[in-house]
Amino acid sequence: MNLARPLGLVLALVSAAATAADTVKIGCVAPLTGPQAHLGKDIENGARLAIDEINAARPTLAGKPVRFELVVEDDQADPRTATIVGQKLVDAGVKGVVGHLNSGASIPASKIYSDAGVPQMSPASTAILYTRQGFKTTYRVMANDAQQGKALGGAAVKIGKRVAVVDDRTAYGQGLADEVAKAVVAAGGEVVGREFTTDKSTDFTAILTSLKAKRPDVVVYGGMDPQAAPMVRQMRQLGIKAAFMGGDGMQSTEFIKLAGNVAEGVTGSSPGLPLEKMPGGGAFTQKFNARFGKIQIYAPFAYDAAQVLVAAMRKADSAEPARYLPELAKVSLDGVIGPIAFDAYGDLEDGPVTLYQVKGGQWVPVETVGGK
């Protein structure tokens, strides 16, 4: 305690010297360690590219020159760490946050940002709940699971009217499956079977056998790849010829690896456009590759997330969240990922969802649903 005060004073002096040209801090938070570190780094790099480009153009707010600074934190894809680093960002005085990656991190941290009035722009979280908590600060530049469920349900009915829906009873799986079921009915199809499993099961023969009796044309699964792969294998072994579909939890290379030869023809959806279909995709890829190397998934989304925050600040001519938050709600601009505008919840208006199909052991984009 004795040391803290003089030390704080020195720090304050140092930072005061550095902030001669007004500094606006933007937080960026994602898992930078652990199994998803490569995806988290992708987000950091995307946001950094945006901030550096903005700074290079010598931006001004309210007639004064400003410099944007990216403050990066690691949430380890962990809900508890997410709240800790979220608080750290707020304490550091960030004016906006790009993050988090996982819905499970975005949701608990969103309360902290909301309490501090700091806008949060997630480049990756798709859970519907994230923007439905009644907070004014939650936004995302990614399609959500409702939009994904709608795309999957619509595509399922195009294959056949009799659809069976299975989910793993997790927040993600159940949320997605419920949206699929709604969309199937809305598109004129019929949900002939609704079965459940857990996110730790490997044996699905019992539920698949009951589904077989209901003669579905399509089976849609809300869950992750370790269940989807044995599920489709057991379906084929039971002689069920129905098509198999699922969300982004199974639209992974891991799924193809685990399912092997039965993966062929399976449809998986993923929010957002494939990189090569993004309006700004080509130019962005060139810029990004030159500086950071290969894009994983989220870099263009994180880039746009940072751009959108700054665009709203410019419109309001202020970096104060209370001033620029209303402008954020009215944003309408063309990003790398496509046109960006938000609905009343802070979700991407008409967020695009891409359907992929496994062809020759690869996910091949076949159709994009939504988007403008």
Partner 1 sequence: MDIFLQQLLNGLVLGSLYALVALGYTMVYGILELINFAHGEVVMIGAMVALTVLGVLAGTPLPPAAMLAIAAAVAIPACMATGFTIERVAYRPLRRAPRLAPLITAIGVSIVLQNVAMIVWGRQYVSFPPLIDVHIHEVAGATITNVQIAIVALAALIMAGLLLLVRRTRLGRAMRATAQNREVAELMGVDVNRVISATFVIGSALAAVAGMMVAAYYGLAHYAMGFMLGLKAFTAAVLGGIGNIPGAMLGGLLLGIIESLGAGYIGDLTGGFLGSHYQDIFAFLVLILVLVFRPSGLLGERIADRA
Q: In this structure, are residues 125 and 102 in contact, taking their beta carbons and an 8 Å threshold?
A: yes
Contacts of 12 (CB under 8 A, 6+ apart): none
Task: Report the nearest approach of partner 1 to the CB of residue 229 (Å).
Answer: 7
Q: Which residues bind partner 1 (CB under 8 A)?
A: 35, 168-169, 194-198, 200-203, 205-207, 209-210, 212-213, 225-226, 229-230, 233, 236-239, 254, 257-261
Q: Give the nearer residue to partner 1 in terms of CB position, either 4 or 213.
A: 213
Instruction: List the one residue out of 306, 372, 368 whose CA is nearest residue 150.
Output: 368
Task: Report the nearest approach of partner 1 to the CB of residue 166 (Å).
Answer: 9
DSSP H helix total and E strand total for the chain: 12, 15
Instruction: List the one residue out of 166, 161, 335, 143 whose CA is nearest residue 248.
Output: 143
Task: Report the nearest approach of partner 1 to the CB of residue 107 (Å).
Answer: 23
Q: Give the nearer residue to partner 1 in terms of CB position, either 254 or 350.
A: 254
Query: How many CB atoms are located within 10 Å of the residue 39 CB?
Result: 19
Residue 288 backbone class (left: φ over 0; alpha: ψ -120 to 50; beta: rest):
alpha
Task: Report the nearest approach of partner 1 to the CB of residue 111 (Å).
Answer: 29
Strand runs labelled E in 96-228:
96-98, 120-122, 138-140, 162-167, 190-196, 218-222
Q: Give the nearer residue to partner 1 in terms of CB position, either 34 or 282.
A: 34
Task: Report the nearest approach of partner 1 to the CB of residue 76 (Å).
Answer: 14
Tokens 């269940």, residue located: 227
CA dist., res. 177 & res. 274, Å (int)? 23
Q: Give the nearer residue to partner 1 in terms of CB position, either 58 or 359.
A: 359
Task: Report the nearest approach of partner 1 to the CB of residue 269 (Å).
Answer: 22
Q: Give the nearer residue to partner 1 in terms of CB position, either 55 or 205.
A: 205
Q: In this structure, are residues 154 and 361 in contact, taking their beta carbons and an 8 Å threshold?
A: no
Task: Report the nearest approach of partner 1 to the CB of residue 195 (Å).
Answer: 5
Q: Give the nearer residue to partner 1 in terms of CB position, either 233 or 277.
A: 233
HSE of 365, CA atoms in CB hemisphere, 13 A: 15
Q: Give the nearer residue to partner 1 in terms of CB position, either 252 or 368.
A: 252
CA dist., res. 10 & res. 75, Å (int)? 29
Q: Give the nearer residue to partner 1 in terms of CB position, either 168 or 304.
A: 168
Task: Report the nearest approach of partner 1 to the CB of residue 204 (Å).
Answer: 9
Q: In this structure, are residues 266 and 230 in contact, taking their beta carbons and an 8 Å threshold?
A: no
